[in-house]
Amino acid sequence: MKFDQPATQNPIDRQKVVGQPRDRIDGPLKTTGSAHYAYEWHEEVDNVAYGYVVGSAIAKGRISSIDTSAASRAPGVLTIVTAENAGPLGKGEMNTATLLGGPQIEHYHQALALVVAETFEQARAAASLVEVTYEKQAGEYDLAKARPEVKEPPEDTPDNVTGDFATAFAAAPVQLDAIYTTPDQSHFAMEPHASMAAWHGDNVTLWTSNQMIAWCRKELAATLNIEPENVRIYSPYIGGGFGSKLFLRSDALLAALGAKALQRPVKVMLQRPLIANNTTHRPATIQQIRIGTDTTGHIAAISHISWSGNLPGGTPETAVQQTNLLYAGKHRHTGLRLAELDLPEGNAMRAPGEAAGLLGLEIAIDEMAEKVGIDPIAFRILNDTQVDPTQPERFFSHRQLATCLREGAERFGWQDRVAQPGQVRDGRWLVGMGVAAAIRNNMVDKSAARVHLDPDGTVTVETDMTDIGTGSYTIIGQTAAEMLGVPLEKVIVKLGDSDFPVSAGSGGQWGANTSTAGVYAACVKLREQVAEKLGLDAAGLDFCDGYVQAGHQRFPLTDAARAGRLSAEDTMEYGDLDKQFQQSTFAGHFVEVGVDRFTAEVRVRRMLAVCAAGRILNPKTARSQVIGAMTMGVGAALMEELVVDTRRGYFVNHDLASYEVPVHADIGEQEVIFLDETDPVSSPMKAKGVGELGLCGVGAAIANAIYNATGVRVREYPITLDKLLAAMPEPTPEG
């Protein structure tokens, strides 16, 4: 099915099942332990062995030698895989560094060996006996130090220039020129990266934790130098990914290599301390933002240049993309600068680009509002736009940013905010409110599904879509139930198997909209088969309550499958509507904080997100995504930072004991509001994504609230108390 015209009325608009706050159909499986994650498959194959990864102890250099003799003699050891004995390996297009290092070392904790033994404990003990001798080489590990030498954009990422920024900025009566920094951050999903592999002749089956089944299959095949048809990927449940499981990682490759060498199934789980350095992370940024306005607050000139680092061949953090679209302004300049660093690979982490870029931009917008003397919300609405500022002929398909801000202000009690910082006290706490706007683009990609109707009326959906804890099972089930007029309880959803039709996968907040659109397409084809079996014209049929109705005629749906199962498969593909319209999602984030006057300790008291993201397919699961994202935003604002050892080139705090993330005690009241809207330009579902939108802008709203509470403006994340203490207001005698 081709989607190249805005959607008109269709069965999804009934919203008998879609759009309703249904419980997750996979919930009982997860709460009873029946949902098997990657390391928990115990009955699918026999005689499993266990692998333990040896990571590099240096960040850059070469291996002089690997002595595995002592490890090989250790109890239970079956084989040891290294680059020397693994055979010729290819390299996937989506990996910057090789997944099995040697002899060249590209980053710290790069996998160098896999020790396979009868038990996990034996493999772990033997891994400590592997002796690696290195020839160290000097590396570049400091973004701030490298920044002055990086003045031009990457060849494939030119600057985006509209008008004459330099002249307009110089002439602007109100100006801001400031630097904002964000640190390296780790995904640290609850479930570690883990895989189990088994070979059957020339074919390998991989049970793994991966967000993109088709990508994983293609990349593993390319790395093993075999055909994709010889690879089967199975990943029905994922315990969080946030982008770190978008791509093939070393656990999957090493499990396959270990199983091939041993001719026996092998399990591999990356130990937690390896994950931060061995997998991927969100790169640090240094952002220069310049804004010039007239005396009434209208933006005349805006520039946003961001520096980030990556391994040779890597890509930059796209931290300026929201600045191209969020606010009006005739004269514009955005650009990326990429420093070549020898730190571990930087890549996608939840809301890549906007999550980091809005941390800078939305503080800068508040600073400009204060300079002009306008309320921060009024300043944002004043500079709102209904067209792409860089291409004014392109209208937004649906843009309700101003509504998000106005409704949020009313619900949050913004009218009670005291504009002058440091004026509101609650005992020993200084109290402040902050706001930030959010934008995240709506991306779509082709997505396929297969749908079956059995004689008993059961509907089964098969697609290689994944569920990373976001509720994919449920919304896919709701879509099939709505399209075929059956209760949700009559729908079975099967996901995460590369033998199923290829979906768009989970990432970029495109998963919900595109995967359900693929199910929609397959259901349309199945409805046509049902009509043919019943001798009816497919046009104008109503599928409802287990029946098919055509005018005054009414037939049980099961009559169509009386002779046996009906099956249909189709792919939703997209035309060029994304070129005609700018498709984005929007939000307003509101935060109230308390800052201890004596210690500068920050407490988030209240949070509100007002989101405009098309049709919300399931308000209950969508709310869960947004409050989870808001919680992640607290981490980005106040605590999350991978600390770089700039001498040795690694992330020092590479475990959850030292890499701090928010816990329940850190989170106060959270409220989420979804505006009632649909976007026919997006897909037949008229939906968009929302999971990453919930993160975008949250950290800046917290930073702005801290400023309102204390009068201390911090432009360097995370905002830890040491960055506040020296500038905090002097406590009064009364406390």
> Which residues are known catalytic residues?
692
How many Cβ atoms are within 10 Å of 81's Cβ, its own excluded? 29
Give me the sign of the Cα torsion angle 439, 309, 660, 271.
Answer: positive
- Cα 496 from Cα 456, distance rounded (Å): 25
Residue pair 474/505 in contact by the 8 Å Cβ criterion: no
Residue pair 464/213 in contact by the 8 Å Cβ criterion: yes
- Cα 54 from Cα 282, distance rounded (Å): 24
Give me the sign of the Cα torsion angle 671, 676, 679, 685.
Answer: positive
Chain-centroid distance of CA 648 in Å reads 29
- Cα 91 from Cα 179, distance rounded (Å): 38
**Structure-block tokens of residue 85:** 């004995």
How many Cβ atoms are within 10 Å of 602's Cβ, its own excluded? 26
Residue type, 409: A
Residues 6 or more apart whose CB falls under 8 angstroms from that of 420 comprise none
- Closest Cα to residue 212, out of 357, 347, 25? 347
- Closest Cα to residue 241, out of 193, 277, 273, 185? 193
How many Cβ atoms are within 10 Å of 231's Cβ, its own excluded? 22
- Closest Cα to residue 430, out of 420, 438, 440? 420
Residue reference for tokens 């590990």: 141
- Cα 247 from Cα 208, distance rounded (Å): 11
Residue pair 518/448 in contact by the 8 Å Cβ criterion: yes
Residue reference for tokens 């009670």: 416
- Measure Cα distances from 118 to 48, 51, 53, 125, 151 in Å: 8, 9, 15, 12, 54
- Measure Cα distances from 430 to 290, 599, 633 in Å: 30, 11, 21
What is the CB-side half-sphere exposure of residue 724 using CA atoms within 13 A?
Answer: 27
Q: Where are the alpha helices (DSSP H) in 451-541?
A: 472-484, 511-534
Buried b (16+ CB within 10 A) or exposed e, 286-296: bbbbbbbbeee
Residue pair 439/586 in contact by the 8 Å Cβ criterion: yes
Chain-centroid distance of CA 296 in Å reads 38
Q: SS3 of 461, please?
A: strand
Residue pair 346/336 in contact by the 8 Å Cβ criterion: no
**Structure-block tokens of residue 308:** 């980030």
Give the β-pairing of 231-234 and 203-208: parallel
Residue pair 430/203 in contact by the 8 Å Cβ criterion: no
Q: SS3 of 725, please?
A: helix
- Cα 281 from Cα 644, distance rounded (Å): 12
Q: What are phi and psi of 298, to 5 degrees?
A: -75, 130
CA 329-330-331 angle, 5° bins: 100
Chain-centroid distance of CA 135 in Å reads 37
Give me the sign of the Cα torsion angle 36, 39, 40, 42.
Answer: positive
Residue pair 182/357 in contact by the 8 Å Cβ criterion: no
Residue type, 219: E
Q: Report which DSSP code applies to 542.
A: E
